[in-house]
């Protein structure tokens, strides 16, 4: 297949391009290179045809011969969404729907949209899956949910939109994002020997490895149309945050909501125990 990947120079897009090439697909990328100067570990050129254009300006000519689109470009986090809500809606919602409309008119058959588990928003403590009611609370989550609603209207026998509501990604990419929780914790542990939690240690969140997202994209791009039965796509893999590796110190930021008495410090030395006692945290030795 000829697959167009938007946001192919981003965190998820970069390894996805390599995975698609390995699967034998011809790949074309669209990106405005917002993170041109943020390459981690060498700037390896993927060697694919690239359209340096804002997705808001993609035209029918850009989609000639394209069989499927993996749509990842966008404003990709809550802080940016809160800072620039109008731009976030413009790119993540309006431009996504416009791109899908042009794609459908151009004969593209599959449109895999990188949605987000942020659409679930205020889900509280309940377990949720793809049948749960979305309740987005941030402009980022809202923009993804609005895009899903409108994309669904375009579905028919010739055009099948698929939504992947990925959890927070982690893992290596040449455009690595250290703002993502597990990458951030790992980088801090690697550089300082401490895992720094900016909460009280009781929070949890769904996470997914970046290569598993890549596998899901390839599967969703290749799946025969009769197997695309649920317009919501699959539920995000969920896992609990676990205590850190033995030998690493678990520290807590002095934020307002930190409650050390509800926290656990995993340590291997008398110094760790003293630190736990000082901040009032529970101390455990790794098993």
Question: Taking the complex as a whole, how short is the minimal distance between the CB of residue 164 and ligand NAD, in angstroms?
Answer: 8
DSSP codes joined into one string, 96-129: HHHHHHHHHHTT--EEEEEEEGGGG-S-TTS---
Binder of ligand NAD out of 18, 19, 35, 132 (CB under 6 A): 35
Sign of CA dihedral 71, 155, 27, 130: positive
Using CB under 6 A as the binding rule, whether residue 93 contacts ligand NAD is answered as: no
Question: Taking the complex as a whole, how short is the minimal distance between the CB of residue 69 and ligand NAD, in angstroms?
Answer: 13
Q: Which stretch binds ligand NAD (CB under 6 A): 50-58, 123-131, 221-229, 278-286?
A: 50-58
Using CB under 6 A as the binding rule, whether residue 263 contacts ligand NAD is answered as: no
Count of residues that interact with ligand NAD, criterion CB under 6 A? 28
- Biggest CA-to-CA distance, the chain: 67
CA distances from 238 to 125, 216, 234 (A): 13, 15, 12
| 122 HSE (CA, 13 A, CB side) | 5
Binder of ligand NAD out of 3, 11, 69, 233 (CB under 6 A): 11
244 three-state secondary structure: coil
Using CB under 6 A as the binding rule, whether residue 80 contacts ligand NAD is answered as: no
Nearer to ligand NAD, 168 or 263 (CB): 168
160 three-state secondary structure: strand
Nearer to ligand NAD, 159 or 163 (CB): 163
Binder of ligand NAD out of 4, 5, 10, 134 (CB under 6 A): 10
């Amino acid at each position: 297949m000829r697959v167009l990947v938007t946001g192919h120079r981003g965190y998820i897009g970069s390894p996805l391009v390599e995975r698609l090439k390995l699967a034998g697909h011809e790949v074309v990328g669209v990106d405005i290179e917002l993170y041109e100067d943020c390459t981690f570990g060498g700037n390896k050129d993927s060697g694919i045809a690239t359209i340096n254009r804002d997705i808001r300006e993609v035209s029918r000519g850009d989609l000639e011969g394209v069989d499927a689109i993996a749509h990842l470009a966008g404003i990709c986090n809550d802080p940016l969404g809160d800072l620039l809500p109008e731009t976030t809606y413009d790119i993540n919602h309006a431009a996504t729907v416009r791109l899908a409309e042009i794609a459908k008119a151009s004969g593209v058959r599959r449109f895999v949209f990188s949605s987000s588990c942020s659409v679930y928003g205020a889900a509280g403590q309940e377990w949720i899956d793809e049948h749960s009611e979305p309740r987005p609370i941030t402009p980022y989550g809202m923009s993804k949910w609005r895009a899903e609603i409108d994309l669904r209207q375009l579905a028919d026998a010739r055009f099948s939109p698929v939504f992947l509501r990925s959890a927070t990604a982690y893992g290596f990419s040449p455009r690595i994002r250290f703002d993502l929780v597990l990458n951030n914790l790992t980088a801090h542990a690697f550089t300082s020997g401490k895992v720094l939690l900016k909460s009280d240690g009781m929070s949890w969140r769904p996470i997914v490895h970046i290569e598993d997202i890549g596998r899901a994209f390839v599967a969703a791009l290749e799946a025969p149309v009769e197997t695309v039965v649920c317009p919501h796509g699959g539920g995000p893999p969920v896992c609990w945050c676990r205590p850190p590796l033995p030998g690493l110190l678990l520290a807590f930021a002095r934020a307002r909501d930190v409650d050390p008495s509800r926290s656990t410090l995993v340590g291997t030395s008398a110094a760790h125990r003293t630190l736990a006692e000082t901040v009032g945290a529970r101390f455990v030795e790794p098993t």
